[in-house]
Amino acid sequence: MSRKKIIIGAIALVIVVVAIYAWSEFTRTVRPLTDVEPDFTTDAVALIAEFEANETEADKKYHNKIIVVNGMVKSVDELENTFSIALGDTNNMSSVRCVLDSNLVSAAAGIRRGQVIAIKGAITGFKKDDTGLLGSDVELNRCVIE
């Protein structure tokens, strides 16, 4: 095989590999968290306290992280088949609010206020309450019940 053919073959191979990688990246969907190992496991009350004490530091620590939160269910809200579960202290307005993965909502069926559960989710940040009426929230989405 001539040297020229080898070079052409190598270039073609590189183009094919790059094209496959680009296509797989372009079509990559957001994966469910069911089998994803969490970066942190914590308690809802402790997590809220961490954000309330130092939002900047907590943001840095939990940035883009997958987290398992243990806590007492304060409320379960359903809107057009989307479930949102609030965890935390029922005497405090602040909560960890978890929006369930839309493909895994059946797990929410038996969840009741006062129950202690563990939820795994992707942390999206801290919504500090500046109205003084609602309480602050640590928000998670793509959540699954552990």
Partner 1 sequence: MQQRNFVVTVILVLSVTFVSAQDKFFTKNGRISFVSKGNIETITANHKSVTCVLDSKTGVIQFSVLMRGFEFRKALMQEHFNENYVESDKYPRSEFRGQIVNNSAVDYSKDGVYEVKVKGKLTIHGVTREIENDGKITIKGGKPHAASTLVISLSDYKINIPGIHRDNINNTVTITIDCPMEPLKS
Cα separation, 12 vs 126, in Å, equals: 48
Q: How far is the CB of 133 from partner 1 (least distance, A)?
A: 6
Task: Using CB under 8 A, pick the residue from 45, 99, 117, 144 that binds partner 1.
Answer: 99
Burial of 118 per CB tally in 10 Å (0-12, 13-18, 19+): middle
Q: How far is the CB of 60 from partner 1 (least distance, A)?
A: 10
- Pair 133, 101: CB distance under 8 Å: no
| Site residues (CB under 8 A) for partner 1, limited to 103-142 | 124-127, 131, 133-134, 137, 139, 141-142
Q: How far is the CB of 127 from partner 1 (least distance, A)?
A: 6
| Site residues (CB under 8 A) for partner 1, limited to 23-52 | 25-31
- For partner 1, the closer CB: 12 or 59: 59
Within 13 Å of residue 45, how many CA atoms lie on the same side as its CB?
Answer: 9
Cα separation, 58 vs 21, in Å, equals: 35
Assess 63 for contact with partner 1 (CB under 8 A): yes
Q: Could you tell me the sign of the dihedral formed by the alpha carbons of 130, 93, 44, 108, in that order?
A: negative
- Pair 42, 58: CB distance under 8 Å: no
Count of residues binding partner 1 (CB under 8 A)?
A: 27
Q: How far is the CB of 3 from partner 1 (least distance, A)?
A: 35
Token pair 């609030």 in the structure block, residue = 86
Assess 91 for contact with partner 1 (CB under 8 A): no
Interacting residues with partner 1 (CB under 8 A): 25-31, 59, 63, 77, 79, 82, 84, 86, 97, 99, 124-127, 131, 133-134, 137, 139, 141-142
